[in-house]
């Protein structure tokens, strides 16, 4: 054991599906339906706002801004969420701007975890939740969403958790539960009943709820996004997380936020002020301008919070169609821009033994990237150690892509499947 080995608290978290698959994409140059980002222009009003900020006659827009969030942005965020959750949010005490939703999750979990605290995590989960809990000294406790069918096309609504099992995970060591709705990678939009069930347990056991809602505006009709913070007695115990990257289709901007009651936000502020301290000023200014415009047209069809899902709906349906045509079994997402598909009926067309990974979905996605030229993400990366096998039969594809690239993906798959 050398003095410069990885510290014990980081061990077990060496592997990252993103690091591995982004490298793979750079090396093999497949059509990339892996990492979630649009391959087309972001809304012009938002990028124009950044240009205007860069050229502003206010020189201070290129300098440090307030640590807990640029005033114009925290005001916009507080104004918007006060409206959508129907309660006054204090911009200075109940909002924190962060380096992406990643940092919001990080400061939440660092700021609210004592050694041995348990966090309930619903599988499949956005992969960083686990290393963030563990490096904070916490203990993840897992419960899996399970599909009602694996052989016929289903809705993401058909991926459900067992209520008895959920109940059995709560105990006096539980610090909180992390939920993600609309969900990555399943696309599930949690129902009122499901959220109420979780909320009742959180109240019964006096726990926190961390609600990762980065896809809050990407919900397909007739489904509705419900913010757990709006359920009775829940604002007091909920930290809600959002992302400008997802909200305005600018994933490279890496601005996120958390909002919640000031006593809970205080812990996040302490962590943030001693790590990141303050985020990029011009990007925050541009995001604020973006919010201000959308607030003026909230509820109208041209509001981006509405039009983005409209724009993605035909892409979702097109992907579901071509995946079914080649023999995969997709789960139709109610929200977000990912689709899970069961690929096992095509197993005889893949040489899984040419890859060495333990889990079949890793072998499938790597083989497809190298030999067929199409990249997806292996969902077993989104499970805890005991349940990884539950993700093995699936692949996750991203559909916020140009129509021509979705068509190219369909052609690649059809050509391969018909061989």
| Contacting residues for 164 by C-beta, under 8 A, at least 6 apart | none
Token representation of residue 15: 């592997």
Question: Does residue number 35 form part of the binding site for ligand PMP (CB under 6 A)?
Answer: no
Shortest Cβ 4–ligand PMP spacing (Å): 29
Residues 6+ apart with CB under 8 A from 389: 359, 380
Tell me if 184 contacts ligand GLN by CB under 6 A.
yes
Up-side HSE of residue 329: CA atoms within 13 Å toward CB? 16
What minimum distance in Å lies between the beta carbon of 35 and ligand GLN? 4
**Minimum separation from the CB atom of position 80 to ligand GLN (A):** 22
Q: Does residue number 213 form part of the binding site for ligand PMP (CB under 6 A)?
A: no
How far apart CA 104 and CA 116 sit, in angstroms, is: 21
- Residue 180 sits in the site that holds ligand PMP (CB under 6 A): yes
Closest residue to ligand GLN in the complex (CB): 36
Q: Among 72, 63, 107, which residue's Cα sits nearest to residue 259?
A: 107
- 10 Å Cβ neighbour count for 359? 17
Residue 241: which of 315, 132, 139, 134 has the closest Cα? 132
* Residue 246 binds to ligand PMP (criterion: CB under 6 A): yes
Residue number with CB closer to ligand GLN (18 or 40): 18
Binding flag, residue 100, ligand PMP (CB under 6 A): yes
Q: Using CB under 6 A as the criterion, what x/- string covers residues 349-378 for binding ligand PMP?
A: ------------------------------
DSSP-assigned states of every residue in 266-326? HHHHHHHHTTT-S--HHHHHHHHHHHHHHHHTTTSTTSHHHHHHHHHHHHHHHHHHHHHHT
Question: Residue 214, interface with ligand PMP (CB under 6 A)?
Answer: yes
| Residue 18 found at the interface with ligand GLN (CB under 6 A) | yes
Residues 6+ away with beta carbon under 8 Å from 80: 291, 294, 295, 298
CB of 10 to ligand GLN, least distance (A): 17
* Residue 251 interacting with ligand PMP (CB under 6 A): yes
Complex with ligand PMP: residue 157 or 363, whichever CB lies closer: 157
Nearest alpha-carbon partner for 121 in 106, 132, 107: 132
Supply the minimum distance, in Å, between the C-beta of residue 412 and ligand PMP. 25
Six-digit token pair at 115? 């050694």
Q: Which residue has the tokens 């290129």?
A: 62
Among 21, 68, 81, 102, binds ligand PMP (CB under 6 A): 102
Q: State the nearest-atom distance from the C-beta of 88 to ligand PMP, in Å.
A: 26
Residue 396 as a binder of ligand PMP (CB under 6 A): the answer is no
To the nearest whole angstrom, how small is the minimum distance from the Cβ of residue 396 to ligand GLN? 8
Q: Residue for token digits 């007695």?
A: 233
Token readout for 401 is 């892509």
Binding partner of residue 212 among ligand PMP, ligand GLN, none, CB under 5 to 8 Å per kind? ligand PMP
The yes or no reply on residue 131 touching ligand PMP (CB under 6 A) is no
Q: Which residue among 13, 20, 25, 35 contacts ligand GLN (CB under 6 A)?
A: 35
Q: Which is nearer to ligand PMP, 102 or 235 (CB)?
A: 102
CA distance 410 to 419: 14
In angstroms and rounded to an integer, the radius of gyration of the C-alpha atoms of the chain is: 21
Q: Which two tokens stand for residue 297?
A: 């047209």
* Binder of ligand PMP out of 81, 126, 190, 220 (CB under 6 A): 126
List, in order, residues 6 or more apart from 263 with CB less than 8 Å away.
none
DSSP annotation of 290 reads: H
Minimum distance, C-beta of residue 249 to ligand PMP, in the bound complex (Å): 11
Which residue number, 256 or 379, has a Cβ lying nearer to ligand PMP? 256
Could you give the CA distance from residue 74 to residue 52 in angstroms, rounded to a whole number? 20
Q: How many Å from the N-terminal Cα to the C-terminal Cα in the chain? A: 52
Shortest separation between residue 18's beta carbon and ligand GLN, angstroms: 4
Q: Residue with the closest Cβ to ligand PMP?
A: 100
In the list 69, 131, 147, 245, the residue contacting ligand PMP (rule: CB under 6 A) is 245
Three-class secondary structure of residue 223 per DSSP: coil
Q: Considering CB distances under 5 to 8 angstroms, the limit depending on partner class, which of ligand PMP, ligand GLN, none binds residue 35?
A: ligand GLN
User: What helix, strand, coil percent values describe the chain, rounded to 5?
Assistant: 45, 15, 40
From 30, 36, 147, 336, residue interacting with ligand GLN (rule: CB under 6 A):
36
Closest to 286 measured CA to CA, from 258, 257, 248: 248
Residues 412/374, Cβ–Cβ less than 8 Å: yes
- Residues at the interface with ligand PMP (CB under 6 A): 100-102, 126, 180, 184, 212, 214, 243, 245-246, 251, 254, 256
- Residues at the interface with ligand GLN (CB under 6 A): 18, 35-36, 184
């Amino acid at each position: 054991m050398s003095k410069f080995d990885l510290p014990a608290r980081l061990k077990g978290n060496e592997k990252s599906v993103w690091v591995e698959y982004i490298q793979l994409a750079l090396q093999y140059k497949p059509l990339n339906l892996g990492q979630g980002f649009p391959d087309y222009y972001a809304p012009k009003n938002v990028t124009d706002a950044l240009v205007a900020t860069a050229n502003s006659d206010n020189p201070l827009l290129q300098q440090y801004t307030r640590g807990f969030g640029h005033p114009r942005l925290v005001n916009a965020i507080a104004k918007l969420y006060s409206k959508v959750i129907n309660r006054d949010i204090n911009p200075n005490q109940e909002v924190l701007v962060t380096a992406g939703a990643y940092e919001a999750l990080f400061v939440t979990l660092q700021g609210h975890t004592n050694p041995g605290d348990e966090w309930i995590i619903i599988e499949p989960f956005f992969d960083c939740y686990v290393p963030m809990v563990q490096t904070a000294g916490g203990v993840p406790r897992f419960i899996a969403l399970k599909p009602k069918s694996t052989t016929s096309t289903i809705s993401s609504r058909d991926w459900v958790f067992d209520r008895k099992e959920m109940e059995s995970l709560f105990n006096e060591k539980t610090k909180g539960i992390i939920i993600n709705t609309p969900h990555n990678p399943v696309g599930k939009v949690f129902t009122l009943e499901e959220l109420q069930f979780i909320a009742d347990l959180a109240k019964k056991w006096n726990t926190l709820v961390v609600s990762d809602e980065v896809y809050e505006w990407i919900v397909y009709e007739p489904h509705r996004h419900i913010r757990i913070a709006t359920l009775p007695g829940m604002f007091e115990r909920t930290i809600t997380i959002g992302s400008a990257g997802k909200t305005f289709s600018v994933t490279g901007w890496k601005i996120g936020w958390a909002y919640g009651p000031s006593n809970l936000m205080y812990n996040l502020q302490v962590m943030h002020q001693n790590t990141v301290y303050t985020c990029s000023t011009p990007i925050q200014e541009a995001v604020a301008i973006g919010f201000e415009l959308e607030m003026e047209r909230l509820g109208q069809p041209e509001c981006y919070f509405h039009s983005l899902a409209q724009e993605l709906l035909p892409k979702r349906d097109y992907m579901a169609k071509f995946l079914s045509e080649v023999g995969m079994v997709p789960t139709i997402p109610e929200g977000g821009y990912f689709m899970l598909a069961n690929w096992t009926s095509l197993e005889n067309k893949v040489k899984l033994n040419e890859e060495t990974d333990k889990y079949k979905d890793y072998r499938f996605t790597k083989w497809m990237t190298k030999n067929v030229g199409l990249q997806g993400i292996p969902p077993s990366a989104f499970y805890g150690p005991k349940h990884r096998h539950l993700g093995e039969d699936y692949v996750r594809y991203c559909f916020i892509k140009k129509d021509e690239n979705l068509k190219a993906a369909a052609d690649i798959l059809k050509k391969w499947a018909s061989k």
